[in-house]
């Protein structure tokens, strides 16, 4: 037996003297996790009760769109979400058609969730279409209400008239429907993908179930904590954050479990007692699991610096998930392994064979990892230079990345009634109908603000909130008909709140178009000297994109600095962390560059949200560092006993299989995000899945070991291992 086997004998003797401890403690841990999962499991279908997909809710409080949204309630009696019903005829609408449309719109409040103050049907100038503004209560089930409203209107209109529901309510309903599969489809696909990989890796029936149970229990308890924090108003939760939480917990918990199980199987070959083997495996896995999880948590918490609340709230939500993933791997999984012992690996139970392990010298002597280690030992410099050049070529695709934002109508992939309705609306009415620009101005500057809006290119119509108008507003025109302060024309009596007046401008272009964004930016420049606040759908998109770009430029360097410090403390070195960070950043750049080429050339995506590179960076760098931590902590352990270069080969040989399996699991779980038809999640799924595979098979398997081997013990500079260790 080797030294490791002999050191386990006293621990084995102690556990035999206290057999009750070997049963009671694991039983209590399993029971505690069962209770937590039992409380958290039923919440999977109730996340929508504490979540919101309203983009304005995630803007910083300093944004103009946020201020306007907060003040709108002082000018209107309702916080309803406007839907725009668009009616398009095959031919010109007749008087009978118009009467039928008017009656259909008038009866819309009969639909549950629809407010009473609907507008009359407005006929287009070409008499081919009509539109009506139908408010939907903010507390209604939006997707169901929009669907019921569409069915009601279609049943009431004449033949030959097509009905669309678009506007803010229509697009929000699309998002709600897109996220509807998170609790079912996403979770099912992710768990199935992980199960298949685990069965192939372990060639066992019981162990994959044990590992997957660990991940699922971690997710249930994490959801329990997040759900109640969101209900208490401590956290903001959205469908996007929910999906990322599910994937992150399943992937991370499985990765940590793989590391512990691999170490346990290794120890069972040199230790006959399962309790002593488990204790040794836990001790050997504790540092890399805590270091890896701590690195991810630290990176995620850097998102708290974000102006955009959708970013800042993701940080603590995902960090809670990672925390429970670590706890489950370090408590629940050992308890289950203690219960099953070697039987968990059936039918490939590890046998007690210390002599064979000693003959193998602690590492694989055959197979792909043995051959790869030999290749690195023969030509390290050629390998790391070649892989670096290959990664740099892929990173050149970054020049093709368009991450300046996408129209709201393109957020949902596949068929979209709201998108089709917006196209139809733009063919017969001003494109911005139903999604006006809101301008809040001091009543003494009303005339000046109206002049700015009326003279702005791209503004089709202007109204002022008025108590006189049945629809809640009065027209503002240049010819004096109801004009604000126009010569010879009586001004409508506006609704005034604390000395401010609300103006609404209808844009000629669709509210989510680049042209509309240009108009709103110009209006803000012209109205700023007057003290005007500009909000609405277009302004919300502008402020969201601007905040997202600010967050990206601020947070990425902060995350790099935080992870660098953690690696320095973990590896007791300065040079190794710098090189690991550089290789991970290079891997991220390559993943993003290749993704940009695929998005443009294969999928023909319209662009990307500015947050996509940020999220991709957070997950790829934090999780990519995980694999380097798994590798380099084992390399450092082996280097102390056998010298740096031999330690690198041993570390790669020993950890190669488990880290590759972990990478496959994480890539598969993130790829499952693509089943949700939301552009942001599909792009994030591709970037992270491809990046993880790239990091697993190229960076961690070739670049890092070859570069470290070429440098030798200088990699540990300036630690004691550099000064006293061997090459």
Out of 362-371, 522-531, 624-633, which region has the weakest mean confidence (pLDDT)? 362-371
Whether residue 5 has pLDDT greater than 60: no
Q: Select the more confidently predicted residue: 411 or 79.
A: 411
3-class DSSP state for residue 380?
helix
The segment with the largest mean pLDDT, out of 201-210, 325-334, 415-424, 612-621, is: 325-334
Rounded average pLDDT over 320-326: 95
| pLDDT at residue number 355 | 60
Residue-wise pLDDT tens digits, 150-200: 999 999 998 899 999 998 889 888 888 887 767 678 888 888 888 998 888
Stated as kind and residue range, the H or E segment containing 134 is strand 129-136
Task: Give me the residues paired with residue 89 across strands.
Answer: 161
| pLDDT at residue number 476 | 59
Tell me how far apart the alpha carbons of residues 75 and 96 are, in angstroms, rounded to a whole number: 36
Whether residue 432 has pLDDT greater than 90: no
595 CB burial (10 A radius; 0-12, 13-18, 19+): buried
Residue-wise pLDDT tens digits, 186-204: 888 888 888 998 888 888 8
439: Cβ–Cβ under 8 A, 6 or more apart, which residues? Answer: 449, 453, 502, 503, 504, 505, 523, 527, 532, 533, 534, 535
Whether residue 40 has pLDDT greater than 80: yes
| pLDDT at residue number 254 | 92
Work out the pLDDT band at 389, boundaries 50, 70, 90: very high
Residue-wise pLDDT tens digits, 254-283: 989 998 998 898 888 888 888 889 999 999
The answer to whether the Cα torsion of 374, 380, 382, 385 is positive or negative is positive
Stated as kind and residue range, the H or E segment containing 387 is helix 380-395
Whether residue 674 has pLDDT greater than 70: yes
Tell me how far apart the alpha carbons of residues 41 and 218 are, in angstroms, rounded to a whole number: 11
As a whole number of Å, the end-to-end CA separation of the chain is 27
Three-state SS annotation for 460-474: EEEEEEECCCCCCEE
Q: What is the DSSP letter of 603?
A: I
Residue-wise pLDDT tens digits, 328-354: 999 999 999 998 888 888 888 877 776
Whether residue 589 has pLDDT greater than 90: yes
Tell me how far apart the alpha carbons of residues 557 and 352 are, in angstroms, rounded to a whole number: 49
Mean pLDDT computed over every residue of the chain: 85
| pLDDT at residue number 357 | 54
Whether residue 45 has pLDDT greater than 80: no
| pLDDT at residue number 482 | 47
Whether residue 484 has pLDDT greater than 90: no
Whether residue 287 has pLDDT greater than 90: no
To which residue do tokens 């000693």 refer? 358
| pLDDT at residue number 238 | 80
Work out the pLDDT band at 146, boundaries 50, 70, 90: very high
162: Cβ–Cβ under 8 A, 6 or more apart, which residues? Answer: 87, 88, 89, 424
Angle at 686 between CA 676 and CA 684, to 5 degrees: 65
| pLDDT at residue number 489 | 40
Rounded average pLDDT over 378-406: 93
Q: Select the more confidently predicted residue: 23 or 589.
A: 589
3-class DSSP state for residue 237?
coil
Residue-wise pLDDT tens digits, 84-96: 999 999 999 999 9
CB burial of 237-264 (b: ≥16 within 10 Å; e: otherwise) equals bbbbbbbbbbbbbbbbbbbbbbbbbbbb
Residue-wise pLDDT tens digits, 89-116: 999 999 998 999 999 999 999 999 998 8
Tell me how far apart the alpha carbons of residues 632 and 643 are, in angstroms, rounded to a whole number: 14
Name the residue among 588, 577, 421 with its Cα closest to residue 511.
421
Whether residue 301 has pLDDT greater than 70: yes
Q: What is the DSSP letter of 136?
A: E
CB burial of 406-434 (b: ≥16 within 10 Å; e: otherwise) equals bbbbebbbeebbbbbbbebbbebbbbbbb
Tell me how far apart the alpha carbons of residues 132 and 101 are, in angstroms, rounded to a whole number: 9
> Percentage of the chain surpassing pLDDT 90?
38
Compute the radius of gyration of the chain from its Cα atoms. 31
Out of 5-14, 457-466, 547-556, which region has the weakest mean confidence (pLDDT)? 5-14
Residue-wise pLDDT tens digits, 218-239: 999 999 999 999 888 888 888 7
Query: Quick one: how far is CA 165 from the chain centroid?
Result: 28
Work out the pLDDT band at 469, boundaries 50, 70, 90: very low
Out of 7-16, 30-39, 689-698, which region has the weakest mean confidence (pLDDT)? 7-16
Please give the full DSSP string across 268-281, using - where no structure is assigned.
Answer: HTT-S-HHHHHHHH
CB burial of 208-218 (b: ≥16 within 10 Å; e: otherwise) equals bebbbbbbbbb
Task: Give me the residues paired with residue 441 across strands.
Answer: 501
Please give the full DSSP string across 291-354, using - where no structure is assigned.
Answer: HHHHHHHHHHHGGGG-SSHHHHTHHHHHHHHHHHHHHIIIIIHHHHHHHHGGGGGTTSPPP--H
| pLDDT at residue number 371 | 87
| pLDDT at residue number 13 | 40
| pLDDT at residue number 725 | 64
Token pair belonging to 376: 């690195």
Q: Select the more confidently predicted residue: 694 or 13.
A: 694
Contact between 526 and 459 under an 8 Å Cβ cutoff? The reply is no
Name the residue among 701, 535, 592 with its Cα closest to residue 168.
535
Name the residue among 39, 43, 52, 69 with its Cα closest to residue 233.
52
> Percentage of the chain surpassing pLDDT 70?
89
Rounded average pLDDT over 664-689: 91
The CA-based dihedral angle spanning residues 560, 561, 566, 567, taken in that order and rounded to the nearest 10 degrees: 60
Rounded average pLDDT over 660-664: 89
Name the residue among 51, 545, 63, 556 with its Cα closest to residue 303.
556
């Amino acid at each position: 037996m080797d030294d490791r086997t002999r050191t386990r004998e006293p621990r084995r003797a102690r556990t035999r003297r206290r057999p009750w401890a070997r049963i009671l403690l694991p039983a209590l841990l399993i029971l505690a996790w069962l209770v937590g999962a039992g409380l958290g499991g039923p919440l999977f279908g109730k996340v929508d009760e504490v979540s919101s997909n309203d983009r304005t809710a995630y803007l910083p409080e300093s944004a103009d769109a946020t201020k306007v949204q907060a003040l709108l309630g002082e000018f209107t009696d309702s916080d309803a979400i406007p839907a725009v019903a668009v009616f398009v005829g095959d031919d010109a609408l007749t008087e009978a058609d118009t009467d039928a449309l008017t009656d259909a719109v008038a009866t819309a409040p009969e639909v549950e969730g629809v407010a009473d103050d609907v507008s009359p049907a407005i006929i287009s100038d070409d008499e081919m279409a009509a539109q009506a503004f139908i408010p939907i209560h903010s507390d209604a089930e939006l997707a169901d209400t929009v669907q019921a409203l569409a069915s009601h209107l279609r049943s009431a209109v004449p033949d030959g008239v097509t009905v669309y529901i678009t506007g803010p309510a229509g697009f929000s309903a699309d998002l709600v429907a897109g996220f509807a599969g998170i609790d079912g489809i996403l979770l099912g696909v992710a768990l199935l993908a992980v199960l298949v990989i685990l069965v192939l890796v372990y060639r066992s029936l019981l162990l994959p179930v044990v590992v997957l149970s660990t991940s699922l229990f971690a997710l249930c308890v994490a959801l329990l904590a997040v759900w109640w924090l969101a209900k208490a108003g401590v956290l903001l939760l959205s469908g996007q954050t929910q999906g990322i939480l599910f994937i992150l917990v399943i992937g991370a918990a499985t990765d940590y479990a793989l590391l512990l199980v691999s170490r346990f199987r290794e120890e069972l070959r040199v230790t006959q007692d399962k309790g002593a083997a488990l204790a040794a495996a836990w001790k050997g896995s504790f540092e890399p699991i805590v270091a890896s999880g701590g690195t991810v948590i630290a990176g995620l918490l850097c998102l708290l610096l974000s102006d955009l609340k959708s970013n800042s709230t993701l940080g603590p939500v995902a960090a809670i998930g990672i925390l429970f993933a670590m706890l489950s791997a370090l408590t629940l999984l050992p308890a289950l392994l203690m219960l099953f012992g070697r039987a968990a690996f059936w039918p490939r139970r590890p046998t007690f064979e210390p002599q064979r392990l000693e003959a193998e010298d602690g590492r694989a002597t055959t197979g792909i990892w043995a051959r790869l280690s030999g290749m690195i030992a023969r030509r390290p410099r050629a390998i790391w230079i070649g892989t670096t050049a290959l990664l740099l070529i892929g990173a050149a695709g970054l020049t093709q990345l368009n991450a300046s934002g996408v129209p709201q109508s393109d957020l949902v992939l596949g068929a979209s009634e709201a998108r089709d309705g917006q196209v139809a609306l733009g063919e017969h009415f001003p494109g911005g109908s139903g999604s006006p620009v809101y301008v809040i101005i001091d009543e003494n500057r009303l005339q000046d603000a109206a002049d700015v809006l009326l003279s702005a290119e791209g503004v089709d119509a202007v109204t002022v909130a008025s108590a006189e108008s049945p629809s809640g507003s009065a027209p503002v025109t240049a010819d004096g008909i109801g004009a604000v302060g126009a010569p010879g024309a009586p001004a409508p009596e506006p609704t005034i709140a604390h000395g401010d007046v609300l103006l609404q401008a209808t844009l000629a272009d669709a509210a989510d178009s680049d042209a509309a964004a240009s108009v709103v930016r110009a209006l803000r420049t012209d109205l700023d000297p007057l003290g005007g606040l500009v909000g609405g759908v277009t302004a919300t998109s502008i402020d969201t994109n601007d905040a997202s770009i600010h967050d990206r430029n601020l947070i990425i360097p902060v995350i790099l600095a935080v992870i660098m410090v953690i690696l320095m403390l973990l590896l007791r070195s300065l040079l190794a962390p710098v090189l690991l960070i550089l290789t991970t950043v290079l891997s991220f750049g390559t993943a993003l560059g290749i993704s940009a080429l695929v998005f443009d050339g294969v999928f023909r995506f319209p662009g990307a949200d500015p947050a996509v590179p940020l999220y991709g960076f957070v997950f790829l760098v934090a999780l990519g560092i995980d694999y380097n931590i798994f590798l380099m902590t084992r390399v450092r352990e082996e280097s102390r006993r056998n010298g740096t270069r031999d330690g690198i080969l041993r570390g790669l040989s020993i950890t190669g299989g488990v880290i590759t399996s972990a990478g496959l699991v994480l890539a598969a779980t993130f790829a499952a995000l693509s089943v949700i038809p939301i552009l942001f999640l599909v792009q994030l799924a591709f970037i992270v899945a491809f990046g993880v595979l790239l990091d697993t098979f190229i960076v961690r398997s070739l670049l890092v070991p070859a570069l470290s081997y070429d440098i030798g013990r200088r990699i540990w500079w300036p630690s004691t291992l550099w000064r006293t260790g061997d090459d």
